[in-house]
Amino acid sequence: MDAMLVTGGAGFIGSNFVRYTLKHHPETQVVVLDALTYAGNLANIDDCAGTDRFRFVQGDIRDRDTVDDAMRGVDTVVNFAAESHVDRSILDPSSFIETNYNGVYVLLEAARHLEVKRFLQVSTDEVYGHVPAGFSVESDAFAPRSPYAASKAAADLLVQSYFTTYGMPVLITRGGNTVGPYQYPEKVLPLFITNALEYKPLPVYGDGSAVRSYLYVEDHCSAIDRVLRSGEAGNAYNVGTNREVNGRDLAARILEILDRPAGLREFVPDRSGHDLRYALDCGRIQALGWRPSLDFDALLDRTVRWYVDHPQWWREIRNESGFRSYYKKQYDERYQT
Ligand code: NAD
Ligand code: TYD
């Protein structure tokens, strides 16, 4: 039986990855280490708690003793733990630098001393900055534009340096905009869906022309799994799809699917430094045999359906005082500038 440490496993993609691993790899034991920040939620993994192949540890990746304890006896580390929302990084970058960079340093040091066999850092397409034309390949120079993206880019460089300097068997995945069950309703798709369900306006930033290509979370998980098992140590792998959808159309589609008034789409002041386009060349991971299983229409339908079917999950989050005060702070600042 092999053992895997999944940091940030109570968050959106991490919890889906834990479920994916328990299902597809019955020989694998999973330890989740998660600080349970505002974005971490035990409800995301409560169905995993029933198996003796799963163990949860509440703790911070910045704390070396906690990390050493959780990592001891583990073959593989997959790091999802991060502050993940660009708008929050604009309001206050401090926790982004702390967790996304310093936390990764602590994980790398622990993994190096414990001689972990595989260390996979879950990164993002945002490290390349926005791409007005063409497609980013893994060897492109980094040009991050938000504190979130810069903290992730810095971590990628540190992870790569552990390969070059210490020969550590590291891997990096750079995923695109991921959607699906258990995504905290601050990211655009779950925010738009849950606002529409409550007949609240859908706030489209600027003129709504910025585009994103959406990836279903299970496809993101299967890509990470593929890279873990067949990727070449020291390499980074882009993970994404190529159907570009702008904010204007995304809001309109959701209102249409949920049969809500088109007038709920509302244009609001733009995000500062808004990246207008990300676009990934995924040839390298395709060469490992990975393909996404859902196209945009299918992933949108499936995601909308999950939020319709799980009102208790998102209503609990949206009723928390922290959720409401975050929105108040964000829009107070945005309308002032
Ligand atoms: P999320 O915000 O939903 O979850 C992050 C998790 O990390 C939470 O459970 C949180 O409690 C935990 N965490 C935060 N700080 C921690 C700390 N100091 N110690 C331990 N745990 C801590 O994020 P997500 O959307 O699931 O993203 C997971 C990873 O994937 C991140 O590294 C992110 O950069 C990357 N990524 C996300 C997307 C996306 O579209 N969501 C796309 C590409 C890459
Ligand atoms: P988001 O989900 O925050 O992801 P990213 O990190 O890629 O920016 O936003 C996706 C896109 O949706 C991005 O172009 C910003 C836009 N957006 C809105 O128009 N309104 C919103 O309320 C949010 C959160 C995002």
Query: 336 C-alpha to center of ligand 1: Å?
Result: 29
Which amino acid does the sequence have at 313? W
What residues line ligand 1, using a CB cutoff of 6 Å? 7-8, 10-14, 34-37, 39-40, 60-62, 80-82, 84, 99, 103, 122, 124, 152, 175, 177-178, 184
> In 10 A of CB 92, how many CB atoms?
11
3-state secondary structure of 277: strand
The answer to whether 203 and 246 are in contact (CB under 8 A) is no
- pLDDT score recorded for residue 169: 98
The residue count of the chain comes to 337
What tokens appear for 307 in the block? 């939020």
If one residue of 46, 63, 80, 92 were mutated to test the ligand 1 pocket, choosing by the most ligand atoms within 8 A of its CB, it would be 80
120: which residues sit within 8 A by CB, 6+ positions away?
76, 77, 78, 79, 170, 171, 172, 173, 224, 227, 228, 231
Angle at alpha carbon of residue 203, lines to 202 and 205, rounded to 5°:
140
Report residues whose beta carbon is within 6 angstroms of any ligand 2 atom: 86, 177, 187-188, 191, 203-205, 210, 212, 247, 271
- pLDDT-flagged residues of the chain (< 50): none
- Distance (angstroms) between ligand 1 centre and the Cα of 12 equals 7
Mutation pick for ligand 1 pocket among 37, 177, 314 (CB with most ligand atoms within 8 Å): 37
SS3 48: coil
Q: Which residues pair with 79 in a beta bridge?
A: 7, 121
pTM: 0.98
Query: Which pLDDT value is given to residue 37?
Result: 98
Helix, strand, coil proportions of the chain in percent (round to 5)? Answer: 45, 20, 35
- Residue in 34, 125, 219, 225 annotated catalytic: 125
Phi first, then psi: give them for residue 28, nearest 5 degrees: -100, 135
**CA nearest to 237, candidates 124, 333, 149:** 124
Strand-by-strand arrangement of the 54-58 sheet = 54-58, 28-34, 2-7, 76-79, 118-124, 170-175, 236-239
Q: Among this protein's residues, is 126 annotated catalytic?
A: yes
Name which residue sits closest to atom 11 of ligand 2, judged by CA: 188
Give the number of the atom of ligand 2 that is nearest the alpha carbon of residue 192.
22
* E runs forming strands in 8-164: 28-34, 54-58, 76-79, 118-124
Catalytic residue from among 20, 128, 148, 214 = 148
Indicate the Cα dihedral angle 30, 34, 40, 46, nearest 10°.
30
**Do residues 27 and 1 make contact, with C-beta atoms less than 8 angstroms apart?**
yes
pLDDT for 141-168, tens place per residue?
999 999 999 999 999 999 999 999 999 9
Q: How many CB atoms lie within 10 A of CB 152?
A: 28
Nearest ligand to residue 188 Cα: 2
Indicate which residue's Cα is closest to atom 21 of ligand 2: 188
Burial bucket for residue 236 (CB in 10 Å: 0-12, 13-18, 19+)? buried
Q: How far apart are CA 50 and CA 30, in angstroms?
A: 13
Catalytic residue among 60, 126, 219, 275: 126
pLDDT at 253: 98
What's the CA gap between 18 and 324, in Å, rounded?
29
Residue type for position 207: D
d(CA 82, CA 14): 10
